A and B are shown apart, each in its own frame.
Chain A
Amino acid sequence: MRVVHYVAVWVGLVILVALELVVFNAGLPPAQARAGIIGLASVAALLVAVFYQHLIREPRGVALLYIAGLLAALGLIIGMVVSLGVQAGLGSF
């Protein structure tokens, strides 16, 4: 990858973080604001992983294991939340 590509990714990241602030200040209902902000953050994280960590060039095994770690982490988080009872989970977060 060339230097301009890296800079382009950086511009993308800055815009995404700025958008998070926009959504934050837009006065949306909390649930929508949260979904939007976390969505934007996830896209930004994905950009870093794919272009700065070069997942795009690595063998698929690397991405698979990355995802495996992510699934383990998500499984733990979801399990923790669900164990509190579905209602609690939806109610206050």
Chain B
Amino acid sequence: MEIPLNSVRRWLFTTNHKDVGILYFITSLYFLVVGGALAVLMRLQLMAPGLNILQSAPFNQAVTVHGLVMVLWFLSPLAFAFANYFVPLQIGARDLAFPRLNAMSYWFYLFGGLLAAIGFFTPGGAIDTGWTVYAPLNTAKYSPQLGVTLGGAGLLMLIASVTMSTVNFLVTIFRSRAPGMTLWRMPIYTWGILLTVFMMLFAFPSVAAGVIMLAADRLLGTLYFSSVEGGAILWDHLFWFFGHPEVYIVLVPGLVAIAEVLPVFARKPLYGKKILITALIIGSIMSFMVWAHHMFVTGIDPGFRKFMTITTETISIPFGVATLAFILTLVGASIRFTTPMLFALGGVALFIIGGITGVFNSSVALDYYLRGTYWIVAHFHYTLVGGATTGLIAALYYWWPKMTGRMFNEKLGKLHFIVYMIGFNLLYFPMHFLIDMPRRVFTYPAGMGWELPNMLATMGTIVFALSWLILFINLYQSLRKGEPAGNNPWGAWSLEWLVPSPPPRHNYDGQPVVKADGTITIQPIPANGGHHIHETHYSKWPLFISLGMFVTFLGVGLGLPVLLLGALILIGSIVGWAKEKFIAVEPAEGERWPFANVERVRLGVWTLLFGEVVLFGALIGSYIFVRINSATWPAPGEFLNPMEGAINTFILVTSSLTAILALAGAKSGNQGLLRGGLIATFILGFIFLFNKGREWSELFSHGITFSSGLPATTYYITTGAHGMHVAAGLAVLIYLIIHAFKGRITKENHAGLEGFDLYWHFVDIVWLFLFPLFYLI
């Protein structure tokens, strides 16, 4: 498929990383405007005591959608707009490892956002639970409206999008680096994205499990969050195990954007790059060990609280190191105060303030007073907006000339910076003085001493909003009549500045090679018989699959016909995807440590499975949690039959054997073994599901339904999630069987089968634990 570059179809069907980057860029700014408009409305309402601009219900919706949109649909996606555009360029690759998957990540992200926002147009309005979606407020009893379900569906689509991106970026960074581009030589932005996707990989599955359980509660009537044994604390764990890493997931790209910009305009290398990277690695790991500092006031075990206080206080050290590296980069430098540099410097300053207030919060004693006040609002806006967003604005000005080929107006840029800093501080600094004013409440009484800070904050909001207008005007004018930028307007030295602005579709006319002394050359690609590499750059299926998913989720609210239509689109376009011949060339040579021998698809599946470990860990953890928290629990064998479970275990274990034999058949060229193995695997997997279905219907006929207590709830949902994995595996098996019988799975070409095998064995491993956990103990 070839498509003219100036057509709309290009943008709908593109799979090129730079196009997708631009789509992310525009969409994230769109969501910024949505979230920003909601913020302006909230601040107008809070300008003075007792106003009536937004009443309680709309205010709750505004505060919720604002938080969700800003964190998940604006900030991270803006970082990934730059990641999409620049990570392949920075490592000398032609594209991401899985271009179609990348396009699909984008469409899932967009449609997920629409699902969450569509709630505003339903009776009862949009999701209004706060961005943390706390239990039991999130359950059908307290929030029956469709908007909450739609918000959950939107979240699920976003999580799917994030998962696809994670797999894609990890495989790309590990397998598509140019020769000489060792891990340590990678530019700092790419390093930051690498760490970010690692955090995403292990953090998002926890909230995914939470949202799945919540959906089950709301739609099927299970009892995870409406019971006291699960309830608020269970959700808190699942949410914040994701939530704290999430704040670093949005922070790290901002910090490394600053680290990318500072040295260029300080005209010296980044101070202590390896130390900075090490600090960020430690910070990323530790971000999984502090989550309960969001639960200090919930009555959890004091010893556990103490542990989390200590880890929280320790985690500020790596970020202190980062700040120090920035400052030492500046010492003795002859600085060029361009617009990107100003924003980078501003980002450092604001981040320091936010970090300091964070240390106060980590004291349990202080947090009893700070929790739920505007002090916290000030804290996280200084870090998320002051640090992360400001850093990304620096990146925006820095890379804009590369992305568009045009310069922006430097005077307007500086004006933007000044107005931005005044607006931001006027908006958020006064909130430090609202240390006793509760957040997320739509109004407040007069005479509490809260009037002045609130008035100032609202004035700051207007100034801050204006500053963004200046940015948009600048960008618009630059597109229309900006000076041509040339290859390297800033005199920077990473790879992306070697190519024209904007770069050609295939990035490099040759193979970039990095030498030991850091110099980069672009060598002509050895003419392989003289024919050009033929790559595919368009596919319509990413868009259609995402659309199918979107309509299916809408159907959950709108009824069966819509649901069926969605499922039809979904299945049809998955088949279309599977049948499409899509060529994404992997570089013939390059740096691949430490995954040199792990083929691309296999590494992708592995990556997915690492995340799945946490998904099932969260489901199993929830089961253990509610079980310990319950006064009574049926003895083993009381409502499930251990023998039935054991038989199914034997069946699934045997299907693992037949799957591995199929692979062995492919590898040795034994087509009989391959085909027989695949068919046997399918039959065994099918029998497993059939037995499960029988077991379920038997339980139902004995009156044990989703809502018959937590033993039933946890059993149905945990084994149900596993069963869905088996079903997905069977769908892939159908595809593989067709291919095998067409003779397309061979000694040389069995990457897909190998990926399937990994997945299937993982599903087996999960069952090896679910069987004893539910049937025997």
Binding site for B on A (CB under 8 A): 1-3, 6-7, 9-10, 13-14, 17, 20-21, 24, 30, 33-34, 37-38, 40-41, 44-45, 48-49, 52-53, 58-62, 65-66, 68-70, 72-77, 79-86, 88-89, 91-93
Contact = CB atoms under 8 A, between A and B. Distances in A.
Contact of A6 (B201, B202, B661): B661
Of A33, A44, A88, most B-chain CB atoms within 10 Å: A44
Interface size class of B (residues with CB under 8 A): 35 or more
A83 B292 contact: yes
B685 to A, nearest CB: 15
B653 A14 contact: yes
Contacts of A1: 664
A34 to B, nearest CB: 5
Contacts of B659: 52
B627 to A, nearest CB: 6
B595 A77 contact: no
Contact of A62 (B202, B598, B650): B598
Interface string B654-680: 101101110010000000000000000
A37 B598 contact: no
Contact of A65 (B234, B610, B772): B610
A61 B595 contact: yes
B317 interface: no
Contacts of A17: 646, 649-650, 653, 768, 771
16 contacts: A9-B657, A20-B771, A38-B777, A41-B771, A49-B765, A53-B761, A59-B595, A59-B598, A62-B598, A66-B613, A69-B609, A73-B613, A73-B614, A77-B620, A80-B237, A81-B625
A80 B625 contact: yes
Chain B, interface SS category: helix
B93 to A, nearest CB: 20
B584 interface: no
Contact of A83 (B237, B614, B646, B657): B237
Nearest to A65: B610
B20 interface: no
A75 B304 contact: no
B628 A92 contact: yes
A79 to B, nearest CB: 7
Interface in B285-317: 288-289, 291-292, 295, 300-301, 303-304
Interface string B633-644: 100100000100
Given A10-B654, A68-B202, A76 B610 contact: no
A86 B301 contact: yes
A81 B607 CA distance: 27
A11 to B, nearest CB: 10
Contact of A37 (B614, B656, B772): B772
Chain A, interface SS category: helix
A3 B304 CA distance: 49
Contacts of A2: 664
Interface in B180-207: 201-202, 206
B241 interface: yes
A64 to B, nearest CB: 9
Interface string B750-775: 00000001100110110011011100
B618 interface: yes
A21 B642 contact: yes
A80 B239 CA distance: 12
Contacts of A88: 628-629
B617 A93 contact: no
B611 interface: yes
Contact of B772 (A13, A20, A62, A75): A20
B776 interface: yes
B597 interface: yes
Contact of A44 (B594, B607, B611, B768): B768
B656 A93 contact: no
A84 to B, nearest CB: 6
B616 interface: yes
Contacts of B777: 30, 33-34, 37-38
A84 B206 CA distance: 19
A10 B757 CA distance: 15
Contacts of A73: 613-614, 616-618, 620-621
A18 B642 CA distance: 11
Given A37-B776, A48-B656, A69-B611, A83 B301 contact: yes
Given A59-B596, A66-B613, A83 B761 contact: no
